[in-house]
Amino acid sequence: MAIQVGINGFGRIGRLVFRASVANPNVEVTAINDPFIDPKYMAYMLRYDTVHGRFEGEVEAKEDAIVVNGKEVKVYACMNPSEIPWKDTGAEYIAEATGVFTTSEKCAAHFVGGAKKVVITAPAKDKETPMFVMGVNHDKYTKDMNVVSNASCTTNCLAPLAKVIHDKYGIAEGLMTTVHATTATQKTVDGPSKKDWRGGRGAAFNIIPSSTGAAKAVGVVIPELKGKLTGMAFRVPTADVSVVDLTVNLKTPTTMDDIKKTMKEAAESAQWKGIIGYTEDAVVSSDFITDPRTSIFDATAGIQLTDTFVKLVAWYDNEWGYSNKVLDLIEYMAKVDAR
């Protein structure tokens, strides 16, 4: 039987988690909660997507549900997660995609309605919530963990790359820059943004320097790299797909050719299947739209200054790749929980 999943928040990630679930026979979304979207509008937003194109399937709306490829998905409009009757639809694993409930304490409200586990689709705002990145530390999940975080899209790109490089050569220290596509928190034209003045500038007209905790978060999922990586972001006027630039000092001298060989072997291994990719083609960002992998190593974009000082580049669809990893984590959790 497919894993029964509920989605709280039908924004970019919520909708794409749903789309990804339709193509995944191991997962079935049985309920969606969003207090700001009615079923008719929900069906429309699922059917059409500016970046990923039309939904390949049938979608229709009912009074309190949407019907996708003949399967009914219950729709709720509760402001408080404790009010969502997840148990009525059999939803046990909840993708918490609102961006609002980002601590274990807040997510515990889902258990009132019958949910068993919650995956936050963002970095948690507390220190209690375990954070996982598929392929990196997901095997540390244990069945007593009820609320977990799937980290950020950027950490899902950086951590696999950092782990492969660190395991082979050792990372002494490093700096990361992500050139990141526009997201919903940005402004279409200049507007108020008290905490981040630059972030309030028009997204379509600017390259915007921004902070990111993605590099420091690698130290959480790879403890031996704690304090060895930090980073920043540049928000750019593209709709989707971002790229990580990881510049590191290595402990073991090597060549760029050997690094390429290491990354190619990783991409072809069972451990990193569906996570790490490898390309030697002259690619650009749009070539990775709707790519489910989260860290695609660009072998011809990296450079080397000395035998221990290198710049490495990896692409990721910050929407689709991440959404697929949310479901991969839920699948893994369900396997562990069933033991």
Per-residue pLDDT band for 235 (boundaries 50, 70, 90) equals: very high
Q: Is 235 annotated as a binding residue?
A: yes
**Separation between Cα atoms, residue 317 and residue 305, nearest integer Å:** 28
Q: Is 154 annotated as a binding residue?
A: yes
Q: Is 279 annotated as a binding residue?
A: no
For residue 252, give both structure tokens. Answer: 């073991």
Q: Is 295 annotated as a binding residue?
A: no
Instruction: Tell me whether residue 153 is one of the annotated catalytic residues.
Output: yes
Name the E strands within the chain: 3-8, 27-33, 59-61, 65-68, 71-76, 93-96, 117-120, 147-149, 171-181, 208-211, 229-236, 242-250, 276-279, 295-298, 303-306, 309-316
**Separation between Cα atoms, residue 297 and residue 163, nearest integer Å:** 13
CB neighbours of 321 closer than 8 A, spacing ≥ 6? 153, 156, 157, 291, 292, 293, 294
**Separation between Cα atoms, residue 145 and residue 336, nearest integer Å:** 11
pLDDT of residue 162: 98
Q: Is the pLDDT of residue 213 over 90?
A: no
pLDDT of residue 210: 96
pLDDT of residue 257: 98
Q: Is 213 annotated as a binding residue?
A: yes
What digits encode the pLDDT tens for the residues 160-184? 999 999 999 999 999 999 999 999 9
Q: Which one, of 93, 138, 99, 145, lies nearest residue 122 by Cα? A: 99
Task: Return the CATH fold of 3-129.
Answer: Rossmann fold (3.40.50)
Average pLDDT over residues 248-258: 99
Q: Is 152 annotated as a binding residue?
A: yes
Q: Spot the catalytic one: 78, 107, 153, 157.
A: 153
Distance set, CA 299 to CA 35, 109, 178, 251 (Å): 45, 45, 17, 21
Q: Is 262 annotated as a binding residue?
A: no
Q: Is 298 annotated as a binding residue?
A: no
Residue 257: Cβ-neighbour burial (10 angstroms; 0-12, 13-18, 19+):
exposed
Query: Domain 153-318 carries which CATH code?
Result: 3.30.360.10
What digits encode the pLDDT tens for the residues 111-138? 999 999 999 999 999 999 999 999 999 9
CB neighbours of 63 closer than 8 A, spacing ≥ 6? 39
Task: Give start-end residues of each CATH 3.40.50.720 domain in the chain.
Answer: 3-129
pLDDT of residue 13: 97
Per-residue pLDDT band for 1 (boundaries 50, 70, 90) equals: confident
Task: Give start-end residues of each CATH 3.30.360.10 domain in the chain.
Answer: 153-318
Residue that is written with structure tokens 């396997």 in the block: 335
Q: Is 103 annotated as a binding residue?
A: no
Q: Is 238 annotated as a binding residue?
A: no
DSSP assignment letter at 185 = T
